[in-house]
Amino acid sequence: MALGLFPGWPSPQERDFSTNELMGKANIPLYGEDINLRKEACEAFVAMKKAAYQDGINIKIVSSYRSFERQQAIFERKYLAYTEDEEMAPLDAVDRIIEYSTIPGTSRHHWGTDIDITDGYRKTEGDVLVAEKFDAGGPFEGLKKWMDEHAAEYGYHIVYTDNPKRRGFKYEPWHYSYAPLSIPMLASFRRKNILQLLQKEDFLGSEHFTAGFVKSYIQNHILDINPALL
């Protein structure tokens, strides 16, 4: 979505965000009970949720803001499971992790603009964030259809689409981003030296990140997303 669709909103080049803010290390204000988003994103979400209610959809947030420490815990838990329980080689384990989970410090959930959602009215067993559950016949089929038709009206766009030519993270029909904030935040993040930032971190698996790996990760996982969010 072009930023011109939001009158008075500065272009990405006119805004900048601190490194700590972008990496989930800053104490940013978060709004909304069980929402935890930046103010503008929260207000847009509440408006979208109210509209969805009228159509029998209860947009429920499963995950929104996530700190660096929380993302590190997710990454390291999976790294240990793959390298110790499944005896995978370290780089193979990292590749498996980044099918769905981001490297700490690079998650869009650090920004307070992104949400993982389900339909609170639909009951299902097991993991809820499974692509098939958003497909035809799945419990969240109605949610996906509603979001396809209306989410952009509130500034929200799916991040990781089902475009077969897209690389990086696998299709996530549950992950949406508030474009008026996340577009300038991504632009600001791209101006940072991400390789240098990651080289300063020390978490399980990070010692295996080469310059080539990080460059590929940036191109395929951070930037190969829905064009409406670039």
What pLDDT is attached to residue 2? 37
Percent of the chain with pLDDT over 70: 94
* Contact call for residues 151 and 157 (beta carbons, < 8 A): yes
Q: What is the CATH number of domain 3-229?
A: 3.30.1380.10
Q: Which of 157, 151, 146 is nearest to 228 (CA)?
A: 157
What pLDDT is attached to residue 154? 98
What pLDDT is attached to residue 3? 40
Ranges of the chain with pLDDT below 70: 1-14
> What pTM did the predictor assign?
0.93
Whole-angstrom distance between the N-terminal and C-terminal Cα of the chain? 8
What pLDDT is attached to residue 11? 55
Residue environment code for 5-33, b if the CB has 16+ CB neighbours within 10 A, otherwise e: eeeebeebeeeebeeebbbbbeebeebbe
